[in-house]
Structure 1
Amino acid sequence: MSPANQDDFQSSLDTVISHISKRQSSIDKIPILPTSDSIANSISSLPSSLPEIGLGVSATTNYLIENVLPGILQAQNGPRYYGFVVGGVTPAAQLADILATSYDENVQVNLHQQTASTAIDQRTLELVLDLLDIPRSTFMGRTITTGATASNVLGLACARDHLLSQSPHLPSNYSWARDGPPSAPGLPSPPIVILSLYPHFSISKAASLVGLGSSPKIIQQLSAHSEDELAFDLSKFENRLKAEQEIRRGVIVVYGVGEVNTGGFGRDLDKVADLCRQYGAWLHVDAAFGGFAGLMPELSPYTKDMDKADSLTLDGHKWLNVPYDCGLFYTRHTSSLTNIFQPPSASAPAYLASNATTVEQGIEGDLPEGTILAADVPSPLFVNIENSRRFRALPLLASLLSLGKEGYREIITKNIHFARSIAIYIDKSENYELLNSSPSHLKSSQKDSIISSNIVLFRPSKNSPYPPSIPTSSIRLTKIINDSKQLYVSATSWRGQSAIRIAVSNYLTDEKRDLQIVLNVLEKVGKGEEVDFIN
């Protein structure tokens, strides 16, 4: 970089830092949504074609800040954005993400004598297990992905090859990844089914991507417990596993920890895991956000048996509050990852050769059992979809170190208490109907557990100006709430009903500052009154 360009970069860096700092200091006050005019101006400002002569760093930076950014979500990582399950960005994670971009390392090959990046990746994955009180030795197969969808792809791919390798209908150690779709006399059609209660859409996408299919013939809904719609009917579940075992069909069981619409938890994960083990099914636990709820002690019974899974999906950019994108994948079957994603040594590109010689567990000094030493970390490109990716571990490592277990416990607990305060208001209001009240077994064991965790699911009542008898009421009300620009909620569907969902998962959300703002908006729109944004 020439001195002139260096000066231009420094000046633009100062502009960016000033913009970030100003936005961060006022993120609780700025409107969440951009105005319609801002969106239109942002789009209309985009160049119709690539300029022959570039604008330069300074002019481009100013253009982005003044013309482009005003048209995007202004505070998705702010304290009152409750759409989907979206966390914020902790200060340490935000700064580390800037550093990761500045260093711009492609963390895919283990060159441990030249860079510590893959060892940092691995230790960060181990620290997340520490956060969840899961022994590191439980899941020796680990990698960082783009998110829960990619992690679910890995989980189903591993399950697919593991199950087929043990099928009596196929040659020993058959691999779909190596040998393609199976065909053999007596092989059931389909050769593998996925059983679940309420699988997230990402499971359907993952099943399509790994070639299993996503039709109801493949992804089949299990019967729920008569007294708990989020719990397996264990008797019917076992009968189904027996029937599949008799025809030697592969079975993947997907167990969700934290239902996406209600935030609720099923029971008996340990018993589900025992039955899967008994009948040779693969248990994939999708705990994208709910897996961290157990940091709040009263919810720990619903997450404590995640270590019994064959594969586990978690998300960093949800409740861990690190920037997009950051997903986490774990499996106890390390070889299932490398068998799929690592090419045979004879065909592996020489320029991607790794320093690593083994994937064996290594212990040095006082390191916990299951810690993988730098030389033994498998190259991430051999346990993951991508051949190139950014240094996603750095922001996560920074956030984990800055907050520690106690800091994350406080975030989880505060978010859940905040959501429960909203739920109490909804439950008492004449204008709303709460749809996700806690089941009796949870209420009996928890204080103030009107809802299970951090999600409030509701709809307008028959007394409101938006009666549920009109199919579009919840969608209309969602738009009116969001148009206030003071909070953001999302529309959804539950039990065939349209509904509204508030998901609280941001470290910035503060009950003293934000609760009254939320309740004021809900009170006014529930009565049919307009709400104008007030800064």
Structure 2
Amino acid sequence: MPSSAPQGDVGSSLNQVISHILHRNESLDTLPTVPSSSSIESTLSSLPTSLFEKGVGTSETTSYLIDKVLPGILQAQNGPRYYGFVTGGVTPAAQLADILSTSYDENVQVNLHQQTASTAIEQRTLELILDLLDIKRSVFMGRTITTGATASNTLGLACARDHLLAQSPHLPKGYSWARDGPPTSPTLPSPPIVILSLHPHFSISKAASLVGLGGGPKVIQTVLSDPEDELSFDLEKLEERLKVEKEVGRGVIVCYGLGEVNTGGFGRNLDKVAELSREYGAWLHVDGAFGGFAGLMPELSEYTKHMDKADSLTLDGHKWLNVPYDCGLFYTRYTSSLTNIFQPPSASAPAYLASNFTATPGLPESSDLPEGTVSAADVPSPLFVNIENSRRFRALPLLASLLSLGKEGYRDIVTRNILFARSVAQWISESKSYELLNPSPSYLSSSGAIIPSNIVLFRATGDSPFPPSDPSASVKLTKAINDSRRMYVSATSWRGNGAVRMAVSDYLTEEGRDLGIVLEVLEQVGKGEEVVRAN
């Protein structure tokens, strides 16, 4: 076999890749968080300007990737001091399982349970997530693994859209947007569905646009918050809106965020919001992408324990569960909410994609299994409950990580991350160079915690080189911190002003090793001193 053939020199190249991965894993705590400008320029200049007529072979390509391409990308995004966005690391078991998943390259799309266990493995993994969160499996029978929170929010709004229109007094009973397209009726309100929320993540707007509801302020409307808590709905005002919308026959999606994206804070009264939603026929969608797992820390369980009252629920695996990109999780109460949208009528379904899915989901394989456990034969084909037809075996790394850590391991990760963030927040609150911006809701007073969760929100003071009077100060501050290449944060906006956001969600972050480095960088930047930079 010639060396340029795909399998020609895979053995030596695999050894080279393994050696590189092992060395990188051992160095994650010292690697620069971002590449140098010269490394990026070198990578870009090394890219071929056109495709070669003759390939260079596996070995030379592997060397090129390691030596030329990888130095120009983020060096330690899954390392202990990357605090941008909400980015988890990759647990060892998940990393190895992801390599295996790629090697086997199974397309998990159709339930062929007598030929492969992959769809049943995915279903059981989704059930184990419910176990992790102490949610009964029977609550959410509609389950699937997506690319991330945006895809999961899209599924949630699609399910809500068809459910609400099927109940609309202005349309034929059981009307389906998925089958019949945008509804028309002389009495139908415009817009026919609105989304009521407080601080929705951008992905909600994106999802609403994708499913045809509209992503602008006419559709996504802000409800007044509780006068004493800006992250909680004013229940009286919410009920007033729900009552008005029911009288005009407009569909309502109530979107409740668990873990506000800038502050990590939690609203209260999710159970009461759920009761109002049921009473007035609204669909309750809970976006708990990362905050849904905060309740693994016992003192925060009060603010996540009512997730099981949602009609649909978004979670993320590649955030606090620390599994590789991409991995989102979606749950809804009924499998039919998904199949009514994504499964074509049997007459038009492609024969080669025939599903083995039966009409009896939820039957346990044995009496020893919890209610809501789905047997292998009864798992709906993933392509009929999700956006994608082709999809990689995302469940395998997630399953591996769950098995390797268990509830105790994940409880430890979440707790350590939150305590680390609180240590940074405490230092910032006492610094003359910075101002802590996280709200201090009353529910923290009893615990003595300075911030609710794993996100630290701050800006510089007038005593620093980045005074708030400068509209670009937070962007400059973010750049100065990140230019150290020893830690990474994100610029954001809070209450109309620039801010810096630090999200701690990596299992590798250790207070004994990393806190001193973080505080040293922040102190040097805040005082305008020369910053010690990573090599």
Q: Which residue of 2 aligns with 1:401?
A: 403
Partner deviation per Cα, 1:206-227 (whole Å, 9 max, x = no partner): 0000000011110000100000
Aligned to 1:489: 489
The corresponding residue for 1:502 is 502
Instruction: Tell me what 1:163 maps to.
Output: 164
> Any residues of structure 2 matched to 1:274-285 within 5 Å, and which?
274-285=275-286
Aligned residue for 2:135, secondary structure, equals coil
Taking structure 2 as the reference length, the TM-score comes to: 0.98
Are the aligned partners of 2:356 and 2:380 in contact in 1 as well (CA < 8 Å)? Answer: no
Equivalent residue letter for 2:289: A
Instruction: Report the CA distance between 1:274 and its aligned residue.
Output: 0.2
Q: Which runs of 5+ in 2 are unaligned?
A: none
1:529 aligns with 2:518: no
1:471 corresponds to: 471
Q: 1:135-534 to 2 correspondence within 5 Å?
A: 135-363=136-364, 364-444=366-446, 446=447, 448-534=448-534
2 CA distance for matches of 1:333 and 1:355? Answer: 18
Deviation track 1:104-155 (CA, whole Å, cap 9, x = no partner) reads 0000100000000000000000000000000000000000000000000000
User: Letter of the aligned partner of 2:304 in structure 1?
Assistant: T
Counterpart contact for 2:194–2:251, Cα < 8 Å: yes
Aligned pairs, how many? 533
Match of 1:220, SS state, is strand
How far has the Cα of 1:185 moved from its partner? 2.3
Counterparts of 1:40 and 1:30 in 2: how far apart (Å)? Answer: 19
What residue number does 2:130 align with?
129
Separation (CA, whole Å) in 1 of partners of 2:466 and 2:339: 54
* CA offsets 1:63-87 (integer angstroms, 9 cap, x no match): 0000000000000000000000000
**Secondary structure at 1:30's aligned position in 2?**
coil
Deviations 1:25-61 (A, max 9, x none): 0110011110111101101111011100001000000
Displacement of 1:365 in angstroms is 3.0
Question: Which residue of 2 is the match for residue 31 of structure 1?
Answer: 32
1:52 partner amino acid: E
CA positional deviation for 1:357: 1.9
Q: CA deviation at 1:462?
A: 1.5
Distance 2:240 2:174 in 1: 28
The 1-side partners of 2:321 and 2:445 are apart by: 26
* Structure 1 CA distance for aligned equivalents of residues 439 and 508 of structure 2: 25
The percentage of counterpart residues that share the same residue type is 76
Contact 2:7–2:58 (CA<8 Å) still a contact in 1? no
Name the amino acid aligned to 1:22. Answer: H
- Amino acid paired to 1:106: N
Is the 1:356–1:377 contact (alpha carbons within 8 Å) kept by the matching residues of 2? yes
Q: Contact between 1:108 and 1:381, CA under 8 Å: does it hold in 2?
A: yes
| Cα distance between partner residues in 2 of 1:379 and 1:7 | 36
- Asked if the contact 2:521/2:532 (under 8 Å) is kept, the reply is no
SS of alignment partner, residue 16 of structure 2: helix
Q: Which whole-Å deviations, capped at 9, do the CAs of 1:334-353 have from their partners, x for residues lacking one?
A: 21100000000000000001
C-alpha offsets along residues 176-204 of structure 1, whole Å, 9 cap, x if unaligned? 01000001121111100000001000000
Q: Which amino acid counterpart does residue 144 of structure 2 have in structure 1?
A: T
- Is the 8 Å Cα contact of residues 437 and 450 (structure 1) preserved in structure 2? no
> How much is the aligned-residue C-alpha RMSD, in angstroms?
1.1
C-alpha distance in structure 1 between counterparts of 2:307 and 2:442, whole Å: 23
CA distance in structure 2 between the aligned counterparts of 1:55 and 1:359, rounded to whole angstroms? 53
Equivalent residue letter for 1:231: S
Counterpart Cα distance in 2 of 1:496 and 1:33: 28
Residues 381-413 of structure 1: per-residue CA shift (max 9 Å, x gap): 000000000000000000000000000000000
Instruction: Give 3-state SS (helix, strand or coil) of 1:193's partner.
Output: strand
Q: Is the 8 A contact 1:358 1:378 kept in 2?
A: no
Question: 1:16 — aligned with what?
Answer: 17
Cα distance in 1 for partners of 2:209, 2:46 equals: 38
Counterpart Cα distance in 2 of 1:192 and 1:507: 40
For residue 423 of structure 1, what is the amino acid of its counterpart?
A: A
Equivalent position SS for 1:105:
coil
Aligned partners of 1:119 and 1:373 also within 8 Å: yes
Which residue type is aligned with residue 173 of structure 2? S
**Which whole-Å CA distance do the structure 2 matches of 1:188 and 1:421 have between them?**
51
1:119 paired with 2:120, answer yes
Tell me which residue corresponds to 1:89.
90
| Contact 1:141–1:334 (Cα < 8 Å) also in 2 | yes
Report the CA distance between 1:6 and its aligned residue: 4.9
Whether the 8 Å CA contact 1:424–1:450 is kept in 2: the answer is yes
Distance in 2, matches of 1:383 and 1:247, equals 32
**Equivalent residue letter for 2:443:** H
Give, as a single letter, the amino acid of the residue that structure 1 aligns with 2:315.
Answer: L
Letter in 2 for 1:508: L
Q: Does the CA-based 8 Å contact 1:322-1:395 persist in structure 2?
A: yes
2:80 matched residue in structure 1:
79
| 2:426 aligned partner, one-letter code | I
CA distance 1:5–1:234, change in 2 (3 Å): closer
Alpha-carbon offset, residue 503 of structure 1: 0.2
Q: How much has 1:534 moved relative to structure 2?
A: 4.1
Q: Supply the AA of the counterpart residue of 1:465.
A: P
SS of the counterpart of 1:43?
Answer: helix
**Structure 1 residue 2 displacement after superposition:** 8.1
**Under a length normalisation based on structure 1, what TM-score does the superposition of the two structures give?**
0.98
Distance in structure 2 (CA, Å) of the matches to 1:354 and 1:138:
24
Asked if 2 retains the 8 angstrom alpha-carbon contact of 1:87 and 1:318, the reply is: yes
Shift of 1:23: 0.3
Report deviation, 1:360. Answer: 1.9
Alpha-carbon spacing, 1:27–1:63, altered in 2? closer, same or farther (3 Å)? same
| Structure 1 unaligned residues grouped into runs of 5+ | none
State the 1:441 CA deviation: 2.5
2:266 aligned counterpart, secondary structure: coil
Preserved CA contact (<8 Å) 1:196 1:254:
yes
- CA change 1:534–1:369 in 2 (3 A) is same
Distance in 2 between residues matched to 1:528 and 1:107, nearest whole Å: 53
Quick one: distance in 2 between partners of 1:375 and 1:330? 20
The alpha-carbon distance between structure 1 residues 348 and 468, as it changes in their structure 2 partners (threshold 3 A), is same
